[in-house]
Structure 1
Amino acid sequence: MTEAANPHADALKYEDWGGEMGARWLANLKGFEGTIAPAGEALLARAAFAPGERAIDLGFGGGATTIAIAEAVSPGGIVLGLDISPDLTSAATRRAQQAGIDNARFQCGDAAAVTVADGPYDRLVSRFGSMFFAEPVPAFANLRAMLKPGGRMDLAVWGPPMENPWMLKGMEVARQHVEIPPPVPRAPGPFAFEDIDYLREVLDGAGFGKVDVGVAEGELPVGGAGASAEQAEHFAQNAMAFGQVLLDYPVEVQEAVARDLKALYEQYYRPGEGVMMGYKAWLVTAYA
């Protein structure tokens, strides 16, 4: 392992979605949306939005989920996209306008503390946007305040790292070359709610009830549907959190990681499908 100084060694413990990670998501939007599409589709199928409902989409990313919800709740319904990234907020607003969606709007704010002006809402949904709160109980209590009494919340959160090889294996390859800390249980980050009992504690402490947990699992295409091993490697280095860590190391180290990542993804490449690797997500429903 290379023992270079790394001022961003904690990059996987805290992801700056209001700044660097939001900009990174936007720059790699197609790859991100294509990669997590199977889990996102499972979440929306479970949520089953209906016309006339008023919904909040927390951590909307590029806005694809928000637009899908807006179409599902039309006519008569509206959707508010809420995200901490100003870059994503601006981009999603333009995207909805270009798509002719007039029942969706996007607000930049920290969901842990922000107040929505036209609440309360019927529904709240989040596709992998709820795992990054520094203090999750008060944050979820704030989300609950956005909902009507009895309002429904649907979340997709990643399951345990070992059951998400699409993330874990790439991280393991990088770790052979650079120093990357392992995920810290219950800490803000992709695997904050891998322990579903912990998530139940958080939701109970925030005042949510009738918690029900389903599973979405299978394979997803790293880098998007049809991506080659080289394209998947480029996506991983430029979009995933460990890619930020690599920027603090010499070019030759980054190139070595790139070679090994490409070799990894070649093992999982299927013509016409892409780099197909396993994932597991919890689909969580709770009521205010």
Structure 2
Amino acid sequence: MTTTDTVQVHPGNAAQLRAWDGDEGAYWAAHADHFERALAAYHPRLFEAAAITADDRVLDVGCGTGRTTRDAARTAWAGSALGVDLSSSMLDVARERAAAEGLGNISFQQVDAQIHAFAPAAFDVAVSATGAMFFGDRVAALANIGHALRPGGRVALLTWQPPTDNEWFRSFTTTLAAGRELPTPPPDAPGPFTLADPDVIRAVLADAGYGRISVEGMSAPMWFGHATEDAHRLVAGLLGWMLDGLDQPTRDRALDDLRADIAAHATPAGVLYESAAWIACATRP
């Protein structure tokens, strides 16, 4: 694993580097199959919006373990795909999976896309699946990504709609809160719902210098595991920090409530929760 002091990041992204190049990123890397499958229902529409062609040069921002990058490399078979992320653990998995699939037009870098000096006009398309919300300065990050796009190049973003429209988030946080009022992060703090308002998405993209902006809503089931215990282990491991400060009986009750909620969402196709996201597209002038 690359140590966090070797990666140059904007100060506003330092906490994200500590998390994603630390325990959180390692957990996602260890459960890559689950996390890659969780968003699978959104990939066809995201790629339709990105309109990647055979000879495009594609930049995947916040690529994680590389599912989106690999799909881009297969689509741009005469072009190339570069995935960038802050997590060395996830990038290790991404490289292994790309090599196993024999993708020779793909590469990965551990960089902060908000400040990294991409070559100007080096890409035709940039995509980001649930990554753009985590930048300390989303306008600066998307402007930097836009600088890396050729004139007329396009960006396609997948971002979550508000928590009220995402059953998975409501269910998990309610059960693990165990009756407590959880603190609300500042509205501009990096997090999964900072681009949940379509007006904010449009404003951020416009301020970053993009034109021809469109935002489309989409709902899809989100997959969390093959069966109840499989999904329970995944979610409890991911969100176990929410139980900090609780006594053991309360912790046990919260985990039992989580298990019961997950069991109620078990189907023959696995554990499914409703989710909703925005797919935003824009063009560099």
What is the TM-score of this pair, normalised by structure 2?
0.88
CA shift digits 1:140-176 (9 cap, x unpaired) = 1111111111110000000010100112211111112
Rounded to whole Å, the distance in 2 between the matches of 1:183 and 1:222 is 25
Q: Assess if the C-alpha contact under 8 Å between 1:177 and 1:257 holds in 2.
A: no
Q: What is the aligned partner in structure 2 of residue 200 from structure 1?
A: 202
Aligned in 2, Cα 1:152/1:48: closer, same or farther, shift over 3 Å? same
Q: How does 1:158-173 map to 2 (within 5 A)?
A: 158-173=160-175
Q: What is the aligned partner in structure 1 of residue 136 from structure 2?
A: 134
Structure of greater relative contact order (alpha carbons < 8 Å, 6+ residues apart): 1
Structure with more of its chain in helix, by fraction: 2
What SS does structure 2 have at the residue aligned with 1:16?
helix
Structure 1 letter corresponding to 2:272: M
Q: Offset at 1:247?
A: 5.1
CA shift digits 1:65-107 (9 cap, x unpaired) = 1111100011x20000011111112221121112110000000
Q: What is the aligned partner in structure 1 of residue 11 from structure 2?
A: none
Q: Offset at 1:119?
A: 4.8
Which of 264, 267, 282 is equivalent to 1:267? 264
CA shift digits 1:181-200 (9 cap, x unpaired) = 23543431010111111121
Q: How does 1:15-164 map to 2 (within 5 A)?
A: 16-74=19-77, 76-117=78-119, 119-164=121-166
Q: Offset at 1:228?
A: 1.3
Is 2:281 aligned against 1:285? yes
What SS does structure 1 have at the residue aligned with 2:33?
helix
Q: What is the aligned partner in structure 2 of residue 6 from structure 1?
A: none
What SS does structure 2 have at the residue aligned with 1:217?
strand
Q: Assess if the C-alpha contact under 8 Å between 2:121 and 2:151 holds in 1.
A: no
Aligned in 2, Cα 1:177/1:233: closer, same or farther, shift over 3 Å? farther
Q: What is the aligned partner in structure 2 of residue 8 from structure 1?
A: none
What SS does structure 1 have at the residue aligned with 2:133?
coil
Which of 209, 212, 215 is equivalent to 1:210? 212
The sequence identity of aligned pairs, in percent, is: 33
Structure 2 letter corresponding to 1:216: M
What SS does structure 2 have at the residue aligned with 1:279?
strand
Structure 1 letter corresponding to 2:258: L
CA shift digits 1:24-65 (9 cap, x unpaired) = 211221111121211233312332311000010111111111
Rounded to whole Å, the distance in 2 between the matches of 1:126 and 1:13 is 16
Q: What is the root-mean-square deviation in Å for CA atoms of aligned residues? A: 2.2
Q: Assess if the C-alpha contact under 8 Å between 2:17 and 2:86 holds in 1.
A: no
Q: What is the aligned partner in structure 1 of residue 232 from structure 2?
A: 233
Q: Offset at 1:258?
A: 1.7
Rounded to whole Å, the distance in 1 between the matches of 2:71 and 2:17 is 29
Rounded to whole Å, the distance in 2 between the matches of 1:114 and 1:168 is 35
Structure 1 letter corresponding to 2:156: D
Structure 1 unaligned spans of 5+: 1-11
Rounded to whole Å, the distance in 2 between the matches of 1:178 and 1:29 is 31
Aligned in 2, Cα 1:34/1:204: closer, same or farther, shift over 3 Å? same
Aligned in 2, Cα 1:138/1:13: closer, same or farther, shift over 3 Å? closer
Dislocated runs of 4+, deviation >3 Å = 12-15, 177-180, 182-186, 247-254
Structure 1 letter corresponding to 2:70: I
Q: Assess if the C-alpha contact under 8 Å between 2:50 and 2:125 holds in 1.
A: no
Structure 1 letter corresponding to 2:228: A
Q: Offset at 1:139?
A: 1.4
What SS does structure 1 have at the residue aligned with 2:182?
coil
Aligned in 2, Cα 1:13/1:102: closer, same or farther, shift over 3 Å? closer
Size of the aligned set, in residue pairs, is 270
Q: Offset at 1:262?
A: 0.8
Structure 1 letter corresponding to 2:257: D
What SS does structure 2 have at the residue aligned with 1:222?
strand
What SS does structure 1 have at the residue aligned with 2:132?
coil
Rounded to whole Å, the distance in 2 between the matches of 1:70 and 1:128 is 19
